Amino acid sequence: MAVYTDVAAEDLSAFLAAYEIGELLSYKGIAEGVENSNFLMHTSRGYFILTLYEKRVAAGDLPFFIGLMEHLAKNGLTCPQPVKNRAGEALGKLAGRPAAIVTFLDGMWIRKPSAQHGAALGEALARLHLAGADFPMRRPNALSVEGWRPLFEAAQGRADRLQPGLCDTIATELAHLEQHWPRDLPQGVIHADLFPDNVFFLGDRLSGLIDFYFACTDTLAYDVAICLNAWCFEPDHSYNVTKGRALLQAYGRARELSSAERAVLPLLARGAALRFLLTRLVDWLDVPPGALVKPKDPIEYFRKLRFHQAVGTVRDYGLD
């Protein structure tokens, strides 16, 4: 749960004086996003989200995120739209932190997504990739294959506390991925964290995408692999081929996966599983005993990795 920084009403009102969004009527710290402090503001002009960027987000990356949301919104994707102040700036400073205001999106995230939700997600993901194609800024993915070994080194001495043999499995997988990771697939803007809690629905209709703070320039099909992991497994860790097919087919209707992308999807899915296994593992080992925040279970992603290791071709994911 987020909200790390308290903002005084007096300070927020002064900050908003530079914007043309009306008079502040209320604001509440909200439990959304795990990296930043977020507030839902009500002003005489409507509802807005205020984000204070905490230390885990590099200030130098903010123009990329803000610019990307603006670019995507202009290109027809429903996502939060940065609100500029009178000086034309979308990025300000509040409570000693970089701060931005974005428009408020209705919609709710689905705890148990169906194949239909997965199809909507697949289409939105392809549209995100297409809309991002002419975005001029670049941001390397710090959590792609080059970033995994440092995470492993931070965790390896303690990984077996979670499950005996975990350390060896990761070491072998990491070496394999480092050797075989594809370098020549189509690249572009990827969301890189499009889990169900970042995708809003109104009924069965996808109403918007949020939380672009892992977005970066990377292999587009890797983003598909991240979503396969995040959307197509059941709570018992089994892969649901109906959901996978729905997601992949819907993606393909908007942006066709090349044969090269299809061939390497199982490898990308292993990489995506390892990436979340590693970050969850580090978070898990870093949380002090007795803390009120319960970190996400790394073993969920260990099981997904095991599944992808046994996959032969993209047919196993539901694509013909």
Interacting residues with a copy of itself (CB under 8 A): 1, 3, 6, 8-10, 12, 24-32, 40, 42, 47, 105-112, 200-202, 288-293
Rounded CA gap, 320 and 313, in Å? 10
Q: Which residue, 24 or 311, is less far from a copy of itself as judged by CB? A: 24
Q: How many helices (H) and strands (E) does the chain have?
A: 9, 10
CB of 198 to a copy of itself, least distance (A): 14
- Please say which residue, 40 or 83, places its beta carbon nearer to a copy of itself: 40
Closer residue to a copy of itself (CB): 11 or 20? 11
Q: Which CB sits closer to a copy of itself, 60 or 290? A: 290
CA Rg, the chain, in Å?
20
- In whole angstroms, the minimum distance from the beta carbon of 291 to a copy of itself comes to 5
Q: Smallest distance, Å, CB 234 to a copy of itself?
A: 16
Comparing CA positions, the residue from 18, 15, 100 lying closest to residue 65 is 100
Q: Based on the number of CB atoms within 10 Å of its own CB, is 276 exposed (0-12), middle (13-18) or buried (19 or more)?
A: buried
Q: Which residues contact 161 (CB under 8 A, 6 or more apart)?
A: 285
- What are the backbone angles phi and psi of residue 117, rounded to the nearest 5°? -60, -40
Closest to a copy of itself by CB, 113 or 188: 113
Report the residue number, 105 or 254, with the smaller CB distance to a copy of itself: 105
Closer residue to a copy of itself (CB): 33 or 244: 33
Compute the least distance from the CB of residue 318 to a copy of itself, in Å: 24
Which of residues 55 and 74 has its CB atom nearest to a copy of itself in the complex?
A: 55
Q: How far is the CB of 195 from a copy of itself (least distance, A)?
A: 14
Residues in the chain: 320
**CA–CA dist 232, 226 (Å, integer):** 10
Minimum separation from the CB atom of position 7 to a copy of itself (A):
9
Q: How far is the CB of 22 from a copy of itself (least distance, A)?
A: 12
Q: 279-316 in b/e burial notation, b at 16+ Cβ within 10 A?
A: bbbbebbeeeeeeeeeeeebbbbbbbbebbbebeebeb
Tokens coding 45: 């002009």
Task: Tell me how far apart the alpha carbons of residues 38 and 102 are, in angstroms, rounded to a whole number.
Answer: 11
- Please state the closest distance from residue 31 (CB atom) to a copy of itself, in A: 4
**Distance between CA atoms of 133 and 188, rounded to whole angstroms?**
6
Residues in CB range of 274: below 8 A, 6 or more apart:
148, 170, 173, 174, 177, 301, 305
Q: Give the max Cα distance, the chain.
A: 60
